């Protein structure tokens, strides 16, 4: 449905209720679920004067698709993008932190990346329009509400966008398992973007070439790689740690 989307699961629906309750057209709930979590959600929806419709599990499955709905799904008006690449370029600060995802096509991985990026204080996540999962109920569910507050910016050409970020004074670090430099050897202060590729494929050539540094996450065990959302969390929170250590007490 043009201009509308379905949010499924408690995190995603609660986030929309907090930030834009007027955009919810209908809240569908499992009529048989009466636990405390459902009661709290219904009270919040009633206070916001959201229309609530009790349905059976089959209807909820039809609305949510592959996303685990937990007995809750909301039909919402699509919200305008919270930011564009131009907005990001115009608002660069000494502590700007961005996440670039190259070829992350699995919706659960994308949602998990959004969740960890939001937790790390990332200003925006940038993806290539044709090599990324779309913003679906599965992504929103995995993001646990992060899609409501964290801009996801799809660009036509990721390599060109990286050039624009660098021109704006943002350094770019790429995560690569075959890099000679360890993540922990980098100085990650100042405006920075982390670039990560999908597990297995990694960063594409043009994306790698535009990184100012390439770094690996040291792995002590027998696994050869990490899930992209786990790798993103390690890279982003090492950046947060370094910045916290250099901030005046």
- State the average pLDDT for the chain: 89
Whole-angstrom distance, CA of residue 193 vs CA of residue 211? 9
Based on C-alpha coordinates, what's the Rg of the chain? 20
User: How does pLDDT run across 81-123, given as a tens digit for each residue?
Assistant: 557 888 888 788 889 999 999 999 999 999 999 999 999 999 9
- Is the pLDDT score of 182 beyond 90? yes
CB 174 within 8 A of CB 192: no
User: How does pLDDT run across 206-249, given as a tens digit for each residue?
Assistant: 999 999 999 999 998 777 778 999 999 999 999 999 999 866 55
CB 41 within 8 A of CB 18: no
Collapsing DSSP to helix, strand or coil, 225 comes out as coil
User: How does pLDDT run across 114-155, given as a tens digit for each residue?
Assistant: 999 999 999 999 999 988 888 888 888 888 888 888 999 999
Question: What would the CATH number be for the domain defined by 85-246?
Answer: 3.40.1280.10
Edge-to-edge order in the sheet of strand 181-182: 152-155, 124-128, 97-102, 192-197, 171-175, 213-216, 181-182
The domain segmentation of the chain, as residue ranges, is 4-77, 85-246
Question: What would the CATH number be for the domain defined by 4-77?
Answer: 3.30.1330.30
Whole-angstrom distance, CA of residue 80 vs CA of residue 91? 19
């Amino acid at each position: 449905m043009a201009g509308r989307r379905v949010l499924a699961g408690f995190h995603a629906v609660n986030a929309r209720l907090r930030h834009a309750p007027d955009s919810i057209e209908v809240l569908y709930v499992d009529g048989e679920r009466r636990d405390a979590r459902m009661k709290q959600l219904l009270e919040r929806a009633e206070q916001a004067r959201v229309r609530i419709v009790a349905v059976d599990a089959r209807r909820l499955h039809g609305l949510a698709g592959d996303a685990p709905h937990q007995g809750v799904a909301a039909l919402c008006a699509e919200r305008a993008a919270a930011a564009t690449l131009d907005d990001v370029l115009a608002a660069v600060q000494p502590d700007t932190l961005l996440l670039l995802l190259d070829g992350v096509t699995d919706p659960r991985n994308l949602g998990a990346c959004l969740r960890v990026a939001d937790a790390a204080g990332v200003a925006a996540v940038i993806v290539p329009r044709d090599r990324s999962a779309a913003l679906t109920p599965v992504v929103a569910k995995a993001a646990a509400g992060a899609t409501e507050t964290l801009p996801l910016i799809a660009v036509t050409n990721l390599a060109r966008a990286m050039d624009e970020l660098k021109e704006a004074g943002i350094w770019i670090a790429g995560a690569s398992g075959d890099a000679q430099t360890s993540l922990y050897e980098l100085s990650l202060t100042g405006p920075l973007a982390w670039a990560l590729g999908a597990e297995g494929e990694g960063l594409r050539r043009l994306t790698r070439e535009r990184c100012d540094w390439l770094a690996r996450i040291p792995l002590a065990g027998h696994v050869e790689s990490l899930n992209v959302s786990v790798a993103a969390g390690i890279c982003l929170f090492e950046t947060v740690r370094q910045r916290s250590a250099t901030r005046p007490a």
